[in-house]
Amino acid sequence: MKNTIGNSLTVTLFGESHGKAIGAVIDGMPSGIAVDDEYIASQLTRRRPQDALSTPRQEKDEYTILSGVFEGKTTGTPICITIPNADTHSSDYGEMQYKMRPSHADFTANCRYNGFQDYRGGGHFSGRITAALVAAAACVMPALAKKGICVNTNILNIAGETQEEKWKEKILAAKADGDSVGGTLQTVVIGVPAGVGEPWFDTVEGMLSHAIFSVPAVKGIEFGLGFDFADKTGIEANDQMYVDSDTVKCYTNNNGGVLGGITNGMPIVFNAVIKPTPTIGKEQKTVDINTMQNTTLAARGRHDPCIVHRAAVVVESVTALVVADMLTQKFGTDWLAK
Ligand SMILES: Cc1cc2nc3c(=O)[nH]c(=O)nc-3n(C[C@H](O)[C@H](O)[C@H](O)COP(=O)(O)O)c2cc1C
C-alpha cells in the first residue's frame, strides 16, 4: 500500500503540488467523533508558510470534507478531505522537467515513474502534500486528547542554534544567500499506556520510523538518547524503576518510553532531523536527463529557506496517526469513540 499508512486506522494520500487538489482518505474512524473545524484550521495554519522564514507561496488551505462526516460527527465511513491548490507558478518549473534538482526527488521519481510523473513543484513529492496529512490527523487528535493522549513536536535546533532569535537570523541569512538550512525536531507523546507494540517487526520504534520517514526531508530518527547511547555505560544509560502508587515508572527516560519495541508507560520521545531544503538559488552541478549532459541549475521559483518549523506540525500529525492506529489495533476502533 504505497500511499496508505496504518493497519486499523488507515490514511491514504493523493494529489500533486500543482494539480487541482490534494487530499486524504481516512478509513477506520469510528462513528460519533466530533470533527472540530477550528482545530483542523489551526493545525493547517501551523504548517502554512506565513513569514519571511518560509516560501512566499500563499495557500488558503480551505479544505472540504466530502464524506464520512454528518452534522459535525464522524459517520464511521471513509472520510475524504480535499484541499484545492492555488498560487501555483508552474512556469517556474519548466527548466526542472529535465534538469534534476540535487537532493530533491526529481531524478528518483523520474526513474520510478518513467518520466510520466507530474514534475511541477515537486509533484507528489512536494511538501505541499503534507497539508492533507495534517488535516487528516486533526480529525483524529481531539479523540486521542479525550483519552489523555497528547502529541507535541517542538524545534530542538535549526542551523545548530537552539535559541529562536538566533535560528531566525540563520534562516534569513541562508535565504539572502540563496541557500537553506536544516534542524532537529523533538516529539513527545504522553498518555500511551504500557504494553503497546507488536514485536518483532511492528515495534513502536519501527512503526513510527516507517511513518516519519514518509515526511519529505526527514533523514534520521532517534529514540530517547538515540546515538548518544554510544558514549554511555550501563549505569548511566539504564532507566531505573520505581513504583508510584500502583504504577511502574522510571527515574529517567533514556529509552524514550519504548523497550523491546513495546511502550513502558513513560512518554514516547524521539528526535527527527530535517535536512536543508533541497531547492536553492545557488548554482549547483546537476544533469539534464533529456540530453544526458552535465549542466548546472540555480533554481527559480519560491522555496522555503528552511522546512524545520513548518515540518513540526507534520511530524506531530504523522505521530498521532501512528499512535491512534496502534491503539485501535490493540483496543478496537470503537475504543477511540468511547
Ligand atoms: C512542509 C514541507 C515543505 C517543503 N518545502 C520544500 C520546498 O519549498 N522546496 C524543496 O526543495 N523541498 C521542500 N520540501 C522537502 C522536499 O519535498 C523533499 O526534500 C524531497 O521530496 C526529497 O525527499 P527526501 O528529502 O525525503 O529524500 C518540503 C518538505 C516539507 C515537509
CA of 277 to the centre of ligand 1 (A): 6
Ligand 1 in reach of 301 Cβ (< 6 A): no
Say how many C-beta atoms besides its own lie within 10 A of residue 239's C-beta: 18
CA–centroid distance, 126 to ligand 1, in Å, is: 6
pTM: 0.96
Measured N-to-C along each axis, helices 308-331 and 204-212 cross at an angle, to the nearest 10 degrees, of 140
C-beta neighbour count of 332 within 10 angstroms: 12
117 CB within 6 A, ligand 1: no
Cell (9 digits) for 129: 502534500
What does the pLDDT look like over 140-167, one tens digit per residue?
A: 999 999 999 999 999 999 999 999 999 9
For the cut 60, the answer to whether the pLDDT of residue 123 exceeds it is: yes
The Cβ of residue 197 has, within 10 Å, a number of other Cβ atoms equal to 21
What are the tens digits of pLDDT across the range 35-73?
Answer: 999 999 999 999 988 777 877 667 788 999 999 999 999
* CA-to-CA separations, 263 to 204, 210, 236, in angstroms, rounded: 7, 17, 21
Q: Mark 306-321 as b/e (b = at least 16 C-beta within 10 Å).
A: bbbbbbbbbbbbbbbb
List Cβ neighbours of 36 (8 Å cut-off, separation of 6 or more): 138, 142
All structural domains of the chain, each given as residue ranges with its CATH number in brackets, are 4-337 (3.60.150.10)
Which residues 6+ apart lie within 8 Å of 157 measured at CB? 167, 183, 184
From atom 19 of ligand 1, which residue's Cα is the shortest distance away?
217
CB-based contacts of 256: which residues, under 8 Å, 6+ apart?
223, 224, 225, 226, 267, 268, 269, 270
Measured between alpha carbons, how far is 13 from 129 in angstroms, rounded to an integer? 8
Task: Indicate whether 1 pLDDT > 60.
Answer: no
CB 48 within 8 A of CB 59: yes
Report which secondary-structure segment, H or E, holds 328.
helix 308-331
Measured from the CB, is residue 297 less than 6 Å from ligand 1?
no
With a 6 Å cutoff on the Cβ, whether 122 touches ligand 1 is yes
Residue 49: CB atoms within 10 Å = 18
User: Residue 101 has what DSSP assignment?
Assistant: P
Q: How far is CA 187 from the centre of its chain?
A: 11
For 192-228, the pLDDT digits (tens) are 999 999 999 999 999 999 999 999 999 999 999 999 9
Atom of ligand 1 nearest to the CA of 47: 1
Judged against a pLDDT cut of 70, whether residue 92 lies above it is answered with no
